[in-house]
Amino acid sequence: MIVDKKHLYINGEWVTAHSYTPLYSPYNRSLIAEVAEANEEETKQAIAAAYEARATMRAMPAHQRASILGNLARLLEQRSEEAAQLIALEGAKPLQAARTEIGRTVETYKFAAEEAKRIHGETIPLDASVSGEGRIAYTVKEPVGVVGAITPFNFPMNLVAHKVGPALAAGNTVVLKPAEQTPLSSFLLAELLQEAGLPAGALNVVTGDGKVVGDAIVTDERVKALSFTGSPAVGISIRSKAGLKKVTLELGSNSGLIIDRDTDIPAMIQRAVSGAFGNQGQVCISIQRIYVHQDIFEDFVDQFVQATRQLKLGDPMNEDTDVSAMIAPKEQTRAIEWIEEAVSQGAEIAYGGTIEEDLLLPTVLLRVNPEVRVACQEVFAPIVMINPVADMEEGIREVNRSNYGLQAGIYTQQLSTAFQAAEKLEVGGVIVNDIPSFRVDHMPYGGVKQSGIGREGIKYALEEMLETKLVVFKK
């Protein structure tokens, strides 16, 4: 499948860029598109369009914003197979997983449509103070204006939805910079929103180099809020350059899973394997570290490896593919280096660790030194480490050793252990009797430590994209 040259989307029109760059399939390196490479001036044009459209979106009633988002959900659902194949093509996400992402994206925009009608302030009892007697006060919520959205490759439609959805629901306008490897799904979004009735300028899609396009969005004074998903290094840089903008940062993790001695291993093993290797492990809440009670360690490892061996590697466009190519060859090379480092420090390879037909095999490492990179950094690859622990307290301590804290999971039949984990795990979300990769799109989602600041989940993201205005009447 060859995709035509893709232009910038600015002010409701497809705009020819000053230059274009080839886009290749991560799986077989075939050319799939020629994509606009915006410069700073073109990015400023997009910001100007969003800035001019502010008044239109601000004046739009809630029911109309909800209707547009509902139309978008309906249109995307109608073209769901096309959208899924686009994700599989540009990002090498296996087709079944891509279909799941589209289903979630439809639901996310439905949530956004619902939340557009629930934005409200509150009354303030000023007479609680002597000096407030004789006054009536209330608050109203108003859109911030222009929202800059910078998104990653691994969920190119749903993570965009978690930024565009709440921004439009709140009455803002958006300048969207998708990941360089996965821009095609954002162009489809622009097409669908135009058909859904979104005014010109309310969404602008600008593709190109992150240092050029991203920096222009982050530093422009007309952009009042930023939502970014990506690496901690880039997130920290964004926050340092953003000035007084509102900033939401989702910066990844190396999520841990704790397995208690009373866990029904056969009942959860497939879930754990999918959480470790889904989308080639390129998920912020992918299971990277598993801590298993020593009494069941060998049994758990045997079943985990056996289930891993059943995974099918290959073309992401095939119906039965479970694991395909990583997003870029350099990332695969990095992953191999991290595996070799772990082995040099005493880790055992229970499965994988090699490349077959240009694909990194799902890799299971045992008894990993906690100081090596696969243990303490975000691997973002089909690699999982499994270490034994003497008890659940040690498991909690090991999870907390990380500089990250997005989500963690624990399997246990002991209510007291579950509550202990919920209290002591230093993460944004604790998932009991399920994997840390669990997410539904209306729950609060975000982390602590180097996993970022702020929360996604439509209702919670909305708060970052609204201003509170106080109104006081003296009787």
Catalytic residues: 250, 284
**β-strand pairing of 20-24 with 31-36:** antiparallel
**β-strand pairing of 203-205 with 448-449:** unpaired
Give phi and psi for 148, each to the nearest 5: -95, 125
Distance CA(424)–CA(208), nearest Å, equals 42
In the three-class reduction of DSSP (H, G, I as helix; E, B as strand; rest coil), residue 255 is classed as coil
3-state secondary structure 77-107: HHCHHHHHHHHHHHHCCCHHHHHHHHHHHHH
Distance CA(274)–CA(312), nearest Å, equals 12
Distance CA(224)–CA(228), nearest Å, equals 13
Burial class (CB in 10 A: 0-12, 13-18, 19+), 137: middle
Q: Which positions ≥6 away from 139 have C-beta within 8 Å?
A: 121, 122, 124, 468, 469, 470, 471
31: phi > 0 → left, psi -120 to 50 → alpha, else beta; which?
beta
